Amino acid sequence: MQYRFLNSPLSIGSLELKNRTVMTSMTMMYCEEGPDGGYVNDQLLNFYVERAKGGVALIIAGGVATDRYVGYGKMMRLDDDRYLPGMKRLAEGVHAQGAKLCLQFLQTGRYGNAGAVYGDSDTLCASAVPSSFSPDVPREMTQEEIRTVIENAAGAAGRARAAGADAIELCANSGYMIAQFLSGVTNKRTDAYGGSFENRCRFGLEMIRAVREAVGADYPLILRVAGNHFIPK
């Protein structure tokens, strides 16, 4: 095939890609649901291995729940070491086809329901602004909960690297939790995490810093940001 640049290798920091094609994250909901679910299973592994066989250079797999209570029930999870063997299998399976693996960390916030389903937590959001995606009315997160969500993302980041994933993407797009803090539509807070643009960026920036610290300076970290959420103000 022609397309000289599309088919030529590319380095992003320490990450070397065989060409310039990327498969974006799609939450497939293939995992078992429930507090003890979230493992990479054969269906999920085969889905990504088949895509890797197609020749894509980088597969962004996910979303991955970094907290069992800020996700959807059937997402992959990395909030505990017990998920490491499955994630290693996924990395090895994708690598065997010559592709690299990036894991997308996704905190659903008001779009999710796992916490409420498991009885662990209310549905959490920057502020108590409901969404048509979930029947739950979310509760505004306390600063303690903000810290916990960030710490859990950092913990999952260490596991992603240990499992052999080549990069991490943080989902700040599509109206999920980081975006819920960024937008004045869903962030009505009056503390240091709301109000000015700088304050609305604080949650995402703190998560980036915590994840960066967990994986080290040389590890590729991607931030997916939406240009427009098409939600009326």
Ligand X SMILES: Cc1cc2nc3c(=O)[nH]c(=O)nc-3n(C[C@H](O)[C@H](O)[C@H](O)COP(=O)(O)O)c2cc1C
The residue ranges that bind ligand X (CB under 6 A) are 24-27, 62-63, 104, 106, 171, 173-174, 224
Residue 42 neighbours by CB under 8 Å, 6+ apart:
none
Least CB distance to ligand X at residue 191 (A): 28
Output 62 or 155, the one with its CB closest to ligand X: 62
Tell me the one-letter amino acid at 208: I
Output 125 or 189, the one with its CB closest to ligand X: 125
Q: Is 176 an annotated catalytic residue?
A: yes
Output 100 or 224, the one with its CB closest to ligand X: 224
Least CB distance to ligand X at residue 29 (A): 8
Instruction: Give dist(CA 78, CA 31) in Å, integer.
Output: 13
Least CB distance to ligand X at residue 221 (A): 15
Is 206:152 a contact under the CB 8 Å cutoff?
no
Place of tokens 């994840």: 211
- Alpha-carbon radius of gyration of the chain: 18
Which H helix or E strand runs over 221?
strand 221-225
Least CB distance to ligand X at residue 61 (A): 10
Output 22 or 128, the one with its CB closest to ligand X: 22
Least CB distance to ligand X at residue 143 (A): 27
Which string of DSSP letters, residue by residue, matches 25-79?
Answer: P-----SPPSTT-----HHHHHHHHHHHHTT-SEEEEEEEESSTTSS-TTSEE-S
- Point out the catalytic residue in the list 48, 83, 176, 219: 176
Instruction: Give dist(CA 93, CA 103) in Å, integer.
Output: 14
Output 41 or 199, the one with its CB closest to ligand X: 41
Residues tagged active-site:
176
